[in-house]
Amino acid sequence: MKHVIEDLGRRRGRARLGGGAARIDAQHAKGKLTARERLSILLDEGSFEEFDAFVEHRATEFGMAANKVPGDGVVTGWGTVNGRAVFVYAKDFTVLGGSLGEAHAGKITKVQDLALRNKAPIVGLFDAGGARIQEGVAALGGYAEVFQRNVLASGVIPQISLVMGPCAGGDVYSPAMTDFVFMVRGTSYMFVTGPDVVKTVTGETVTAEELGGADVHATRSSVADGAYDDDVTLLLQARRLIDFLPSSNVSGAPHWPTRDDPDREEPSLDTLAPENPNAPWDVKELVRKVADERDFFEIQEAHAKNVVVGFARIAGRPVGIVANQPAALAGVLDADASRKAARFVRFCDAFSLPLVTFVDVPGFLPGTAQEYGGLIKHGAKLLFAYAEATVPKVTVIARKAYGGAYDVMASKHLRGDVNYAWPTAQIAVMGAKGAVEILHRAELGDPGKIAARAKDYEARFMSPFVAAERGYVDDVIMPRETRRRVARALAMLEGKALANPWKKHDNIPL
């Protein structure tokens, strides 16, 4: 008996060593943790249950028969994050560069299937060289098996990708189909084809960092939802994100106890939105002052800063926040901001997270760059996303709500449940200056007359009361009471039941 126990211990020890001590040292020398070290930070201490540690590939060509490592380059299983079950797979770069072959793919699809069946989130940790070259089409097939499951799980369980090393070829498309992608600065990069292929095909000389580093994807391409300085910071932030998310589309969001009084007043909000409609202000201050313990988890912080999206809790309940940001591009909606917010709204709707929308938007950004870039289609994405959303929608118009952007930002007309406005709100087709210049073109040569017309227009339209008279806003609220009013609205909406007409799926303007 003793020898079988010893044999198990030996086998386990060998599997835990992955590609061996030298490769682990090399991994550390690059500033990266190993797959198992990463999982020990992501998951609650001692909670990781590993599966398939003894799986080996069955490839024989290119000397592969003699090149087997138990576990086959990916560590899989499940554990908990603050007590809630989460399935995981972590590529082990020390084994054949974390490359994916048939057996490796089989390990991933096993936990994908388990996560979907058991309705729990799944987190993939990427640090790999793509398709295992020695396994040829078997590797390609393995990727497609993973992709298929990503798609089936989309909207059913949260899927999170943590890119913590190279991520190329087949490895990029799985993260791209998951809900959130985080990257590590300096050590991770994602691209479909690497710098060498780029050089050959286009003649461009570019480094891996320039082509697909964390900042490129978090700022420009929006492939990444967040960039962090090192493995540990990223993993701790992933834990924080998971705490906001429901385990599945049927589980309901986790409710965390809070000591923050839902009735807390914030007198400073009364003067937050400047009287001058052109003066910027930081909407994140409003978000933090409304959120429990000022805790706001921002998504895509560095991309399209003119709209702010992320998770907060109000009276212990997680919500999705969408807010125009007057401190960036005056909070205008452009193509990037529309896409960013639309994707976030759809995530929240899929997972039954209520939407709290803060509005200060001068409209959609004019210009050829935007029109040629498909602003109509991208703006329509946000309109579509809000209109199809059936989760509770609570909207607060803080200042401007002009033109089509008024309609789009969770207005009453798009089934907004509770729509409030601050007294500083201006709800109109456009700003006063633009309006009178169109309506009174003949008087353009007389600045005095135009100024008087603008004043008149402002008095008539640039207040929340015209909309309130029609019931388009349910109440004009004191800014200092925003947290209490939003919290009460959300509590009232907890039993909301609304369904869209049956369809196979919609046809959102992609």
As annotated, the active-site residues are 169-170, 404-405
Type of residue at 333: L
**Angle value at C-alpha 445, between 440 and 449, nearest 5 degrees:** 60
Nearest-angstrom CA–CA distance, 94 and 14: 13
Is 311:319 a contact under the CB 8 Å cutoff?
yes
Rg, C-alpha atoms of the chain? 26
Distance CA 244, CA 458 (A): 41
If one counts every other C-beta atom within 10 angstroms of the C-beta of residue 109, the result is: 16
Rounded to the nearest whole angstrom, what is the least distance from the CB of residue 488 to ligand HXC in the complex? 49
Which residues lie near ligand HXC (CB under 6 A)?
A: 96-97, 99, 129-134, 140, 143, 166, 168-170, 173, 194
Quick one: DSSP state of residue 154? T
Backbone phi, psi, residue 90, to 5°: -130, 120
The least CB distance from residue 94 to ligand HXC, in Å, is 8
User: Nearest distance from residue 70's CB to ligand HXC, in Å?
Assistant: 17
Closer residue to ligand HXC (CB): 4 or 151? 151
- Give me the least distance between CB of 62 and ligand HXC, in Å please: 9
Angstrom distances, CA of residue 236 to CA of 28, 33, 75, 216? 19, 14, 19, 22
Q: How far is the CB of 203 from ligand HXC (least distance, A)?
A: 20
Q: What angle do CA 255, 162, 23 make, to 5 degrees?
A: 135
Is the CB of 63 or the CB of 447 nearer to ligand HXC? Answer: 63
As a residue count, the chain comes to 510
E strands, 278-354, where? 296-299, 307-314, 317-324
Shortest distance, position 189 Cβ to ligand HXC, whole Å: 9
Of 131 and 283, CB closest to ligand HXC: 131
d(CA 442, CA 440): 5
Cα end-to-end distance, the chain, whole Å: 62
Nearer residue to ligand HXC within complex by CB, 5 or 137: 137
* Listed residue (217, 220, 128) closest to 228, CA to CA: 217
**Closest distance of CB 205 from ligand HXC, Å:** 17
Closest contact distance (angstroms) between CB of 212 and ligand HXC is: 11
Instruction: Name the residue nearer to ligand HXC (CB basis): 70 or 252.
Output: 70
Residues near 214 by Cβ (< 8 Å), separated by ≥ 6?
163, 183, 184, 185, 186, 188, 189, 224, 227, 228
How many angstroms separate the CA atoms of 229 and 66, rounded? 38
Q: Which is nearer to ligand HXC, 139 or 468 (CB)?
A: 139
Distance between CA atoms of residues 405 and 416, nearest Å: 14
Residue 402, beta-bridge partner list: 428
Of the two residues 79 and 169, which places its CB atom closer to ligand HXC in the complex?
169
Task: Round to whole Å and give the CA distance between 253 and 351.
Answer: 8
Contacts of 481 (CB under 8 A, 6+ apart): 265
In the complex with ligand HXC, the residue whose CB is nearer, 169 or 277, is 169
Could you tell me the smallest distance in angstroms from the CB atom of residue 428 to ligand HXC?
A: 49
Residue number, 165 or 479, with CB nearest to ligand HXC: 165
- From the number of C-beta atoms within 10 Å of its C-beta (0-12, 13-18, 19+), residue 501 rates as exposed
> In this structure, are residues 228 and 234 in contact, taking their beta carbons and an 8 Å threshold?
yes
